[in-house]
Amino acid sequence: MFTPEFINEERGEFVLVANHSLASPESIRLSIAYNIARISWGLSQLPPHIQTCRVVYDIRGQSIPDQAQALDIRGQSIPDQAQALVRQALEQVAIVEFRS
């Protein structure tokens, strides 16, 4: 059984909400793997005209360790890097948004 949070029939889109920690490389990797599998399963269970997935990451209240708040050499904070990694990994299978 597969139940997305929302389905927009007109757009042929289903929405999944991910309330996952992005505070460590391991949690990012697990979140990406989980969502890729979730999207793949969902596409196999939904009607053929529903082919687009939108994943909304709810990152409100995330606790990022102090050392992770520092900027790296490219000038991106760790939370921005996490979002970029997730976006890049999922861009072939979903539209990705972050809500904070």
Structure confidence by residue, pLDDT tens digits, 27-78? 889 999 999 999 999 999 999 999 999 999 988 877 655 444 443 434 556 5
Mean pLDDT (whole number) for 7-24: 93
Q: What is the pLDDT of residue 25?
A: 84
Of 71, 60, 51, 53, residue with least CA distance to 98: 60
Q: What is the pLDDT of residue 18?
A: 94
